[in-house]
Each structure stands twice: as structure tokens, then as C-alpha cells.
Amino acid sequence: MNFKEHVISTIKNKNSAVCVGLDVEPGKIPAVLKNEKNPVLKFNQEIIAATKEYTAAYKPNLAFYEQTGIKGLECFEKTLEFMGGDVIKIADAKRGDIGNTSKKYAHAFFEHFSCDAVTVSPYMGEDSITPFLEKEDKGVFILALTSNKGSFDFQMQKMADGRYLYEFVIEKINSWNAKKNCGLVVGATHPELFEGIRKLAPDLPYLIPGIGAQGGDLENTVKYGFVKNDVLSLVNSSRAIIFASDGPDFAERAGEEARKLRDQINKCLK
């Protein structure tokens, strides 16, 4: 099964296109977990247990783990182990380097940590991406149009042929997709551009951040960002789900928020 098929079947099986971003601030862990041996790991485990029914994918962002060094990476590893096999495990790492070096990153995330997918940055071009694409069952979400203000600095600048840089990048990505394991990162803060993006890349799964704390527009995202029959997009929410409550009910409330997002997406899809 190639990565695209894996995304489609997981979304169908879970009846959910929700991706939960496990971007855990140690300072925001609920007081009830403060005496745990590893509060961040325990937090992740409780969040995963409470949200898994409503969730197709989890996306821990490496920055939040690297900030505490080895201890954080241990937590990243154990969090991945806890997820089990029926969700898509996405390492949000935004890596990318010369070919020889990207190969090591691909090994790190796909072999060592057993992730299903990784996010990468396109700036260094084809040979920085292809080492991640060697196995059809391992996926790569390439930054195309991100959700932040800085997306205007380069991604939304016009090229000599009149296209935006992000459109130019997307066309290149289409040409790298022989094994059906490329995807795009497209931010929900640009809903007016989704229709055009879906035309450029009708066949790619999208990972869509920017809903929730960043203020993205869910309805237009689903209207234009999804391929309805195949539900070929994952909508990520991080803070709005995992930090829905800082009380003893934090996991329960996270579960409710994940269920709510799943239902909102499914409603928009009808």
C-alpha cells in the first residue's frame, strides 16, 4: 500500500480527517500531572488515549521535544510507540539537506523512529527531497504554502513566469510523486487560494495546519482543500485540542475537541 492509499484508508476507517498536533509545552502541563515521573509523556499518553477514536493522525513537532534535548527525544520516541498502528504518525520536522544528508534524516524518522511520514522544506530542491521518497509506504509532506505571516515573504512572491513561488514548488512536487508518497503542507489561513491549489495538485494528500489558535477558516478549507470522495486531506489542530483544559479533565476535554473537529469536518464534507 502506498502512502496515498494509507492516508485514504485511515481516514475512511476512522471516519475522521483529524490530525492532532502534539506540540507540548512542558510549562502548560496540567497541575494534576506535575508529580508524574515524566509529565510530558504521561500527558501525551492520556491525550492519545482520549482522542484516538476521533483521530486519523498524530503530528508531534520535533521542536517541542528537542528543546529539552535527550530527555525530550526519549519522550518523542515513547509517544510514537504509544500511538499504535491504526493512526498515521507524522514527524513534523521540516527537515531537508543535501542528498547524502537527507538520507540520514529519512533513516532517522522512517527507520529509527518508525514514523509513517515527515514534513520537509523544499528550498534545497529535488535531491534534498528524493531520499525521503524511496519507500512507497513512507510519506513526505512538503511545505508549499504555510500558515504563518512569513508565507508572504517568499512563498507568495511572483516568479518570472507570473506564478507564485508556492505554485512553482507544487508543480515540481507533482513531478516527484512517482511512488504516490508526496503530500503538501497547505495552511488553512489562505482559504481563498485552496481552490487553485487543489487544481494544481488534485492527486496529493494535504496536511493542513492553521485551524484553531492560528485562526484558519475550516469551512472553506474543507470546501476547496478536500477531494470529497477520497477525503484526501488531514486537518491539524494542536493547541485548541491538547490544551482545551488545564484541569484534571484535560484529556476528556481534548477528546471532546477532537470529536467536535471531526464532526465539523464531516458536516462540511456533506
Residue 124 vs 227, nearer CB to a copy of itself: 124
Task: Give least dist CB 73 to a copy of itself, A.
Answer: 5
4 part of the active site:
no
Which positions touch a copy of itself (CB under 8 A)?
A: 23, 61, 63-64, 66-70, 73-74, 77, 92, 94-99, 101-102, 104-105, 107-108, 112-113, 121-129, 143, 146-155, 157-160, 162, 165, 168-169, 172, 214
Phi, psi of 89 (to 5 degrees): -100, 110
Taking the complex as a whole, the smallest distance from the CB of residue 157 to a copy of itself amounts, in Å, to 6
As measured in angstroms, the least distance from the Cβ of 118 to a copy of itself is 11
Rounded CA separation 148/265 (Å): 22
Going by the DSSP 8-state scheme, the letter that residue 110 receives in this structure is I
CB closer to a copy of itself, 54 vs 243: 243
For residues 118-139, one letter each, b for 16 or more C-beta atoms within 10 angstroms of the residue's C-beta and e for the rest, the string is bbbbbeeeeebbebbbeebebb
Nearer Cβ to a copy of itself, position 36 or 97? 97
SS (H, E, C) 7-47: HHHHHHHHCCCEEEECCCCHHHCCHHHCCCCCHHHHHHHHH
Residue 244 carries which side chain, given as an amino acid letter?
A
Which residue numbers are catalytic? 94
